[in-house]
Amino acid sequence: MNIHRNPLCGRNFEYFSEDPLVSGICASAMTDGVQCGNGTGTTIKHFACNNLEDNRKGSDSVLSERALREIYLRGFEIAIKKSQPMGLMTSYNLVNGVHSANNYDLCTQVARNEWGYKGMIMTDWTTTDSYGGSEAWMCPKVGNDLIMPGARSDEESMAAALAEGKLTDDDLRSCAERLINVILRTNAFKNSVPYRTRFGF
């Protein structure tokens, strides 16, 4: 769902559009089609401003709040408000100096509090590795529910943060609750119910 910010981005061919309105409508329509039946869902990505292929884990997308909201977040906002996708994947890059996977403003304040997002938020693969840049313990702290693919070092990071009081049981329980709500809508649960039915969309 990312916008063509750099003509050299190697994944431009995968993105819906240069227009956030078109991108949001396309993502919403695809999500509605996939999620109309029991047990299936979509994951929209990469949240947000993942507009470079080179140095994806180290690049910093620096932009004004107006540009961020009107261009780079608008498609995600449309898809979430209209269709409530099952998953939202954060990106590798930093947004104004903060890694997306560790970004409270993106994961909690914008997606959940402002847009009313009900699904799970997950990291991109290996973003918490030593070369990834994101702190594992900060992911659940900011509302990023699932670290992919997960490693022993992630567990150690969270255990240390719990012991130091930087991460709380409530942080982890909130993530677990959101993950359980997703599981109850998937084929892993024999009585799965479509998201629209569960939450009245």
Please say if 19 is a catalytic residue.
Answer: no
With contact defined as beta carbons under 8 Å apart, do 9 and 51 qualify?
A: yes
Which of 32, 124, 129, 169 is labelled catalytic? 124
Full strand arrangement of the beta sheet holding 120-122: 43-47, 87-90, 120-122
Residues designated catalytic = 124
